[in-house]
Every structure is written in C-alpha cells, then in structure tokens.
C-alpha cells in the first residue's frame, strides 16, 4: 500500500508532466461529518472502496478560494478569483491502495468552470452563485463563504501547524488524488500536486446546516465531527486512469 507519507513526498518533490490545469486553492474551510456507509457506496467509482477513519465513513463540506486559473498554461479571463463549495468523501484504490477523495457535488459561480468540469472532465459540477468575504490583519483571518442566506464562516490566527499523523485532521487534509467515475464506467484518477497543507489556529467556526441541503436528499442524519481552516497552496492537476 502506498503510505500517506510517500504520497506527500511524491507530490511535493516530483515535477509532474501532462498538467491540464494549474491554480491556487487557498483558505479552505473543511467541515466534516460522519455518514452511513450505505449512502456513499453507490457513488464509488469502479475499483475503489471507502476509506474509513476509525471504522467511520466521512464526508466533508469544503469551501475555499479558487484563483489564478490556467488551462494548459493559458490564463482564463474573468476566472481568476472566486469562492467555491464542494462535498467530498474519502476512498482508496482496490488496485494499489492509494488514498484519495470522491466528489459528490461541486459548486462554482463561474459557468465555464461548471461546464468544463461537468462535460469534459466528468465531475459533478453545478453553477451556483457562491459568494465569499475575507478580512485579514497581521495576526488574524476571518472568512465567510455563502450560498443564498446560508454560510460557513470561521476566524483564526495566522499561526499554522502541520496535522499530526493518525489524526482526523491528517486523514482529511493529506489527500492528493481525486477518483472520478468516467462516462465509460471506468475510473479517472486526477493527481493533485501541491505542498502539504497546514491548519490555522482556530478561534471559532460556524456552519449553517442549510448548506447541507446542497447535497442529494438521501444524505440524512449527518453527525458533525470537526471544522478546520486550512492554508492551501498552488496546485497542479494531472489526468490519468486508475490501472
């Protein structure tokens, strides 16, 4: 099995080829919930299985700032800074044991991003008017991502720390692969190259449960476990197949 540590080193030291998109994902609020395993199993791409934390199946609401977008090295006008919200769960390959995420739904306020993600890369993208606000001082940061009247927000100091191994934070944050079910019912494997992310020191956080209504209606009885604020970084994404 490929260890989490080796995956982390691989994605920070190697110079990847065949990159189709580069961007920055920063100021990520990750709110994580326990969910019944049977709800997630139909969303698993072929040759993957649930990656459990202490025998629990987890999903995360992730709100973040998407910026400096380039496709195949070309900057996309009017797509250089916006908020995005997605829902993901945690899976691993049955073939090589590599760990990653599977997206349930992704929401962006840019129609082109939603169309390209959905039609070309087979990701479950939707066009929604996601808004965000950021206030930053020398010592603190305040963030708010919202859709309609529902929002997720947090305040934190700018002191960061690396997630400790074998913790819930590490399980959630240290992910470098997205598994996507293709239209041909095979599994696409998107390698996501970035430096290991760190967490900010939280002061408080609030998640409006109305945001969970963006999930399919069968996602019920979710148990909140944690909300973290992650620094993020530059990202490069490479498309491949799970083999």
* 17-63 residue pLDDT tens: 789 889 999 999 999 999 999 999 999 999 999 999 999 999 999 99
Task: Give the pLDDT confidence score for residue 15 in this predicted structure.
Answer: 55
Q: Give me the tens of pLDDT residue by residue for the chain, a chain 243 residues long.
A: 333 333 443 444 455 678 988 999 999 999 999 999 999 999 999 999 999 999 999 999 999 999 998 888 888 777 788 999 999 999 999 999 999 999 999 999 988 888 888 888 889 999 999 999 999 999 999 999 999 999 999 999 999 999 999 999 999 999 999 999 988 889 999 999 999 999 998 889 999 999 999 999 999 999 999 999 999 999 999 988 887
Q: CA torsion sign, 63 to 66 to 72 to 77? A: positive
C-alpha–C-alpha distance, residues 243 and 233, integer Å: 28
- Please identify which residue in the block is written with the tokens 């190697």: 14
C-alpha–C-alpha distance, residues 193 and 126, integer Å: 24
pLDDT digits (tens, 9 = 90+) for 105-118: 999 998 888 888 88
**How does DSSP assign 88-136, residue by residue?**
EEEEEETTT--EEEEEEEEEES-HHHHHIIIIIS---EEE---EEEEEE
Instruction: Return the structure tokens found at 2.
Output: 């490929």
CB atoms within 10 A of CB 19: 18
Is CATH 1.20.1740 the right assignment for the domain spanning 4-237? no
Task: Domain ranges for the chain, please list them.
Answer: 4-237
């Amino acid at each position: 099995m490929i260890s989490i540590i080796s995956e982390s080193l691989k994605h920070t030291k190697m110079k990847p080829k065949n990159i189709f998109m580069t961007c920055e994902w920063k100021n990520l609020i990750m709110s994580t919930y326990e969910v019944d395993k049977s709800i997630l199993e139909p969303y698993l791409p072929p040759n993957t299985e649930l990656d459990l934390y202490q025998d629990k199946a987890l999903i995360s609401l992730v709100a973040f700032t998407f910026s400096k977008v380039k496709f195949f090295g070309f900057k996309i006008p009017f797509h250089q800074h916006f908020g995005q919200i997605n829902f993901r769960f945690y899976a691993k390959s049955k073939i090589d044991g590599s760990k990653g995420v599977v997206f349930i739904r992704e929401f962006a306020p840019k129609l082109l991003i939603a169309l390209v993600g959905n039609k070309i890369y087979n990701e479950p993208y939707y066009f929604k008017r996601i808004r965000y606000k950021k206030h930053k001082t020398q010592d603190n940061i305040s963030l708010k991502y919202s859709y309609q009247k529902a929002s997720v927000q947090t305040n934190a100091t700018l002191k960061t720390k690396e997630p400790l191994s074998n913790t819930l934070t590490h399980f959630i944050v240290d992910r470098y692969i997205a598994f996507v079910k293709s239209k041909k019912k095979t599994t696409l494997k998107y390698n996501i190259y970035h430096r290991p992310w760190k967490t900010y020191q939280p002061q408080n956080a609030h998640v409006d449960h109305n945001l969970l209504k963006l999930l399919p209606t069968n996602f019920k009885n979710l148990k909140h476990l944690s909300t973290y604020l992650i620094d993020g970084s530059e990202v490069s994404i490479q498309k491949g197949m799970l083999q």
